[in-house]
Amino acid sequence: MRFVTYNLRFDAQPDSISVAQSLDRLTDPLVEPKYLSKGGEQPWSLRRMRVAEHLLSEGAVLCGFQEALVRQVRDLAELFGDGWAWVGVGRDDGKEAGEFSPIFYDKAEFKFLAYDTFWTSPTPFTPSRFPGAGSFRICTTIRLQSLRSSKEFVVSNTHLDDQSDGQRQLAASLILHRAKYEEQVGGCPVFVLGDFNSPPTGRDSAAYEIITGARQPVAVPSDFLNRFPLSDNMASAAPSLRDLLADAPRRSAGIAAHATFTGFSAPNITRDWKRIDFAFGSKAGTCIRYKVDSALGDDGVLESDHRPVFVDLVG
């Protein structure tokens, strides 16, 4: 199974160009482009087909996206086609307002079983923002069954706050608790995808450390504990989520690109590059390949200010 997590960069330059119109405007593929002729952020209407074709050509069967506004979700659903389905809600109202953290999946590979969304705030079951956070933040969780193996698994997809370390720590603690519940009570492997805005080291690393067990989680709201109850032994058990980069074979991980956020700067300007987008997994299942792929086209158009992170999983 090839999963990908990809922060799309929200549609910051909206226009009325349809997918069909974008297809009509494609250049002749036999004509050599002007290499690196475009720079900076480009409209979503120019980026969307590159995103879809990139992921489909790489053979992804499950995609966790971040920063997707409703137009972007609908565009990707159109470009991916009827063989795919998706789940998710807008974070501002639990419907269509604000950014989604949707999960797309290939219906030929998986059977849908259940899904839900919670807010990574002190009131996780109503649209809400952590005090001091820049935005509402959510986590989308889906349970699927592989049509190849009949095995069930759970995937959570999220985007943590870029301004509040407190929000990131609570979010990581909520997601970790949910992962323990799904693994220990639900009895199936768990994968967590997303933009954590938290690198593995440094002053903003707390959320990453909580997810991977290097730091104690913070207290989570009682209604969350009641909905996803764990025994004392289960709650205190060491977390089993691991960074799949560390789990991948050295021949794959050792040559993989490192930075997942690059901004829209020129390729040789790296001062803001960092690794903040992750795929985590529970002890069940094995990561056999890990890749951070380029988002840069020959003409200089970047699909996003982030790069897609691919993981190949077996088991």
DSSP string, 108-151: TTEEEEEEEEEESSSSTTSS---TT-SS--EEEEEEEEETTT--
- Whole-model pTM: value is 0.97
Residue 256 has a pLDDT of: 76
* 236 SS3 class: helix
The model's pLDDT over 51-95, given as tens digits with 9 standing for 90+, comes to: 999 999 999 999 999 999 999 999 999 999 999 999 999 999 999
pLDDT over 90 (residue 11): yes
In this prediction, residue 271 carries a pLDDT of 94
Tens digits of residue pLDDT in 248-286: 998 888 887 899 999 999 889 999 999 999 999 987 778
Q: How many CB atoms lie within 10 A of CB 174?
A: 25
The C-alpha R_g of the chain, in whole angstroms, comes to 19
Q: Work out the pLDDT band at 1, boundaries 50, 70, 90.
A: very high
Give the pLDDT band (50/70/90) at residue 231: confident
pLDDT band at 302 (very low <50, low <70, confident <90, very high): very high
pLDDT at residue number 71 = 99
pLDDT confidence of residue 167: 99
**CA-CA-CA-CA torsion sign (10, 16, 19, 22):** negative
pLDDT at position 285: 75
Of 1-15, 129-143, 241-255, least confident by mean pLDDT is 241-255
Query: Is 282 strand, coil or helix?
Result: coil
What per-residue confidence (pLDDT) applies to 236? 78
pLDDT per position as a tens digit, 88-104 = 999 999 999 999 999 99
- Label the pairing between strands 242-243 and 277-281: antiparallel
**235, pLDDT greater than 90:** no
Q: Is the pLDDT of residue 228 over 80?
A: yes
pLDDT for res 254:
80
pLDDT of 112 reads 99
- Tell me what the mean pLDDT of segment 172-184 comes to: 96
Q: Output the pLDDT for position 153.
A: 96
Cβ partners under 8 Å of residue 12, min gap 6: 41, 44
What is the C-alpha separation between 241 and 277, in angstroms, rounded?
15
Q: Where are the alpha helices (DSSP H) in 131-243?
A: 165-180, 206-212, 222-227, 232-236
66 to 6, 130, 276: CA distances (angstroms): 6, 18, 12
The full set of domain ranges for the chain reads 2-314
Which CATH number does 2-314 carry?
3.60.10.10
Q: According to the model, what pLDDT value does residue 173 have?
A: 98
